[in-house]
Homo-oligomer: A and B are copies of this chain.
């Protein structure tokens, strides 16, 4: 019997099942440096210990998206090794700050299954949480993927579809309480009250992604999905080449969004996310944002609900998103909906 991991097929997932994923990871300042070098992230809160300390953090915290990718990466061998498509995210919450030296373990609960009408694939919903070394949940999110069946002849399970919120309620956000936010060091004078619902921001800059870069990032997170690494096998695939991990797109788009959203540094929740198209090495990412909602969280701190859109080889002066047919335009790669804290 082969000892290599065959992954799980659609039939293997049963609602109520818990999967403890392999390879917990101790996050270090080395990871913080690499994340910065790989994404171009520039938020003062995640770059400068002095800035973080002035705002109530004991030491320099880890960017929530870095923690998210680390947790997500660990789920791949168990959840999506045989996946056809990564369909969406919902109800993602960042519950505890992560600091260098914290060890993150990923655990998933299967919360829904539904076989597709073709009988060859099915959709699996999992809620994944990342726990630190104290057993505290630092982040939690739902994702759903389309997974191959091992044998189409196997009977379909009872469908069970979880009830998911379209967005995390602002009352459920774990809010920081910024004490001494320095606009000059943060890079912007724009704060909570300067952003209006419906406002759109072109982040202007572009970032071209190389094979070495996305492979480094994806291995940093210990995400092993084959499509990102094996050019030889990908020659015979639909795209004929390596596909870049969607988390790389999210992080680079988010880093580009610094230019216009400098003080919305801290991601609090992921409401939804769609990978509308694939990114390949050599492509240039651009990004724009729309303010979807606002909420005051404390006397010092508010939250912006932001749609972050990433495009390929397409500057975002005119905020490209969907065509008249309601479908994403061909150059739109990401439609990501999140809450971020911002000082008042």
Contact = CB atoms under 8 A, between A and B. Distances in A.
Interface of A: 2-5, 20-26, 28-34, 36-40, 42-44, 47-51, 60, 77, 100-101, 103, 105, 133, 184-188, 190, 194-195, 201-208, 210-213, 215-217, 219-220, 222, 224, 226, 229-233, 242, 259-262, 282, 284, 313, 315
A299 to B, nearest CB: 24
B22 A187 contact: yes
Contacts of A60: 26
Contacts of A133: 49-50
Contact of A232 (B34, B40, B208): B208
A5 B103 contact: no
Contact of A39 (B30, B187, B219): B219
A20 B185 contact: yes
A311 to B, nearest CB: 10
A220 to B, nearest CB: 4
A259 B77 CA distance: 10
A37 B232 contact: no
Contact of A260 (B4, B48, B195, B208): B4
Contact of A4 (B105, B201, B208): B201
Contacts of A77: 187
Contacts of A3: 188, 190, 194-195, 201, 260-261
A26 B48 contact: yes
A206 B184 contact: no
B32 A222 contact: no
Contact of A216 (B20, B100, B213): B213
5 closest residue pairs by CB, A with B: A22-B187, A30-B33, A206-B230, A30-B30, A212-B212
Nearest to A210: B212
A50 B38 contact: no
Given A22-B42, A205-B224, A210-B210, 11 more contacts: A4-B204, A4-B259, A4-B260, A5-B188, A21-B184, A22-B187, A23-B187, A30-B30, A36-B219, A49-B101, A205-B226
Contacts of A22: 42, 44, 184-188, 262
A201 B226 CA distance: 18
A54 to B, nearest CB: 11
